[in-house]
Amino acid sequence: MALTLGNNYTLLNPVGVDAAIQRVQILLSKKLDWQYIQLFGRAEKVPLPESKTGLKPMLYYGNNEYKEVMRDDNYFGQVFFVVANQQTTKEGVMYKANCKIVFMLNLAKIYANQPERADAKAQEEVMTALKSTSSFLPISIGTGIKESLGEFDTEDIKFTDVHPNHCFCVNGTLSYQISCYN
């Protein structure tokens, strides 16, 4: 059993890219034996006037309300998806999008009994879990705040990628279908 005592923020009726993300999200929640993790779906790129680059990753809650998906010390980690602004298709039904899954973790809490830094262990567990899905094809792993959150304003992030913290992303291609009914 994975993702115990954490939150898996799933949608009620996902379609298109959100349905593909949710399949991967649910897979991660089942395969990763981590506690107290917030597992978000697609983070919106929300422009905020007070931020330097203008963009913050946020989860849309409805009624024009957003929740920031960045590090929350009440949990052992946060996971969220960032989808490229352009999705491609050849036949108008199957689509592909570059997608990044971002992991911001407190390794000392997730792997409490491990004496060494478990960054490679976390990455290996994620990649092993992702082998079980055909929706997301991993291409590379990136480490650090800049690599994982480069398109967002990171000026006010206090989270650094030194023990016990680890920030990494898995870059890949997300495949999904848009059903067109006539």
What tens digit of pLDDT does each residue of 94-130 get?
889 999 999 999 999 999 998 899 999 999 999 999 9
Q: What value does the mean pLDDT of the chain take? A: 86
Give residue 52's pLDDT.
Answer: 58
Copy the structure tokens of residue 53. Answer: 């680059």
Give residue 91's pLDDT.
Answer: 79
Q: Does residue 181 or residue 179 have the better pLDDT?
A: 179
Give the strands of the sheet with 136-143, arranged side by side.
Answer: 7-8, 37-42, 77-89, 94-106, 165-177, 136-143
Omega before 164 within 30 of 0, i.e. cis: yes
Question: Which runs of E-coded beta strand occur in 20-93?
Answer: 37-42, 44-47, 55-62, 65-68, 77-89
Q: How confident is the model at residue 1 (pLDDT cuts 50, 70, 90)?
A: very low
Q: Does residue 83 or residue 62 have the better pLDDT?
A: 83
Domain definitions of the chain by residue range: 7-177
Give residue 180's pLDDT.
Answer: 61
35 exposed, middle or buried (CB, 10 Å; 0-12, 13-18, 19+)?
A: middle
pLDDT greater than 60 at residue 182: no
**What percent helix, strand, coil does the chain show, rounded to 5?**
20, 40, 40
Q: Which of 48-52, 63-67, 173-177 has the lowest mean pLDDT?
A: 48-52
By the 8 A CB rule, do 140 and 161 touch? no
Distance CA 105, CA 155 (A): 19
How much is the average pLDDT of 11-19? 88
